């Protein structure tokens, strides 16, 4: 179902009115973790003003250490709903367990994120495949493109065709950055599948100063969108502060990619 051979036209995924793919470019921005109502509403307002079309924010967090902040969980989803009510932006947030699907449906999460660490959690993929909520499927830390496409296939095989793929950096021998951004994944995935492909330069680089140039590069290789971490106070963020842009820095990034999108004929 994901194979380009049998579906020559680009798929456009509609996330509560925001279109991704087929010439429609979407920017998802927001903090790594939802931390408080004041934080998420402030960031939502700022990124919307700069041109983001979706609000991201983690409520259930896949942290390397069990002693790190695990997210506000159900309360985090409620705060995302409040931010959505304030700005009207659809929300995208990570689902880590199928146990939480009823909660996600109850809060009307607009797009379900499957994180890199769960890309091959096949039962979880099947479970989101049985909903009709659009899915943002992130590439695993050391997954091949074929494996990523097969994971999309798991979701689609259960009846949910609304899948967006996300390249977020992979593990290589390089240690100076958190991950290595595989920009070549975009043209290759577009050859392999008809699904939209977005780039997350924040988790790829792990360092804020690189995010704007990698975002510009993502547009140039034909990505259908971006996921960017933005925090109102990166130094004191509960997760991923080092890679988070301030709202002002995000605003500058948008000023760089706007003319670029126009050049490539993409609609923001
Ligand atoms: C995230 O988006 O905050 C996240 C944990 O991403 P990934 O699964 O790509 O590491
Ligand atoms: Mn993060």
Report the 10 Å Cβ neighbour count for 184: 11
Structure tokens at 76: 């985090």
Taking the centre of ligand 2 as the mean of its atom positions, its distance from the CA of residue 91, in whole angstroms, is 15
Strands (DSSP E) along 170-229, which ranges? 197-199, 225-229
What is the C-alpha to C-alpha distance for residues 37 and 11, in angstroms, rounded to an integer?
Answer: 35
Ligand 1 pocket test, candidate residues 30, 116, 151, most atoms within 8 A of CB: 116
**Residue indicated by tokens 């041109």:** 51
Q: How many CA atoms lie within 13 A of 197 on its CB side?
A: 27
Q: What is the number of the ligand 1 atom nearest to the C-alpha of 113?
A: 2
**Residue indicated by tokens 């939802």:** 34
List of the chain residues with pLDDT < 50: none
Q: What is the number of the ligand 1 atom nearest to the C-alpha of 61?
A: 5
Is residue 197 classed as helix, strand or coil in its secondary structure? Answer: strand
Structure tokens at 120: 């091959």
Q: Which residue's CA is the nearest one to ligand 1's atom 3?
A: 32
Q: Which residue's CA is the nearest one to ligand 1's atom 9?
A: 116
Contact 147/179 with Cβ under 8 angstroms? no
What is the C-alpha to C-alpha distance for residues 118 and 108, in angstroms, rounded to an integer?
Answer: 22
Residues with CB under 6 A from ligand 1: 32, 58, 62, 115-117, 138, 168, 203
For the stretch 46-95, pLDDT in tens is: 999 999 999 999 999 999 999 999 999 999 999 999 999 999 999 999 99
pLDDT at residue 96, as a whole number: 98
CA 90 from centre of chain: 12
Report the 10 Å Cβ neighbour count for 132: 11
CA 193 from centre of chain: 18
Taking the centre of ligand 1 as the mean of its atom positions, its distance from the CA of residue 180, in whole angstroms, is 14
The neighbourhood of ligand 2, an ion, using CB within 5 A, equals 32, 240
pLDDT at residue 214, as a whole number: 98
**CA-closest candidate to residue 227, choices 57, 70, 71:** 57
All domains in the chain, ordered by first residue: 21-263 (3.20.20.70)
Q: Which residue's CA is the nearest one to ligand 1's atom 4?
A: 115
Cα angle 163-165-167, degrees, rounded to a multiple of 5: 165
Q: What is the number of the ligand 1 atom nearest to the C-alpha of 166?
A: 9
Q: What is the number of the ligand 1 atom nearest to the C-alpha of 32?
A: 3
Classify burial at 188, counting beta carbons within 10 Å of its beta carbon; exposed 0-12, middle 13-18, buried 19 or more.
Answer: middle
pLDDT at residue 44, as a whole number: 98
pLDDT at residue 5, as a whole number: 96
CA 108 from centre of chain: 17
């Amino acid at each position: 179902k994901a194979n380009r051979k049998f579906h020559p036209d680009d798929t456009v995924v509609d996330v509560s009115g925001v279109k991704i793919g087929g010439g429609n470019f979407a920017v998802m921005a927001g903090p790594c973790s939802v931390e408080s109502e004041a934080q998420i509403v402030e960031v939502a307002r700022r990124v919307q003003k700069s041109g983001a079309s979706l609000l991201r924010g983690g409520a259930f967090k896949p942290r390397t250490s069990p002693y790190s902040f695990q997210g506000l969980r159900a309360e985090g989803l409620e705060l995302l709903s409040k931010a959505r009510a304030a700005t009207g932006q659809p929300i995208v947030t990570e689902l880590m367990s199928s146990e939480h699907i009823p909660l996600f449906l109850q809060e009307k999460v607009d797009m379900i994120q499957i994180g890199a660490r769960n890309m091959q959690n096949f039962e979880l993929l099947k479970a989101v495949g049985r909903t009709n909520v659009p899915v943002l499927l992130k590439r695993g830390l050391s997954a091949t493109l074929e494996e990523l496409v097969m994971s999309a296939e798991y979701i689609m095989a259960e009846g949910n065709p609304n899948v967006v793929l996300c390249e977020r950096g992979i593990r290589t021998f390089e240690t100076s950055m958190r991950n290595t951004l595989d920009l070549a994944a975009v043209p290759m995935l577009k050859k392999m599948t008809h699904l939209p492909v977005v780039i997350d330069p924040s988790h790829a680089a792990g360092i804020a100063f690189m995010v704007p140039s990698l975002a510009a590069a993502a547009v140039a290789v034909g990505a259908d969108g971006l996921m960017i971490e933005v925090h109102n106070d990166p130094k004191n963020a509960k997760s991923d502060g080092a890679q988070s842009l301030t709202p002002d820095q995000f605003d500058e990034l948008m000023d760089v990619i706007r003319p670029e999108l126009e050049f490539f004929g993409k609609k923001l």
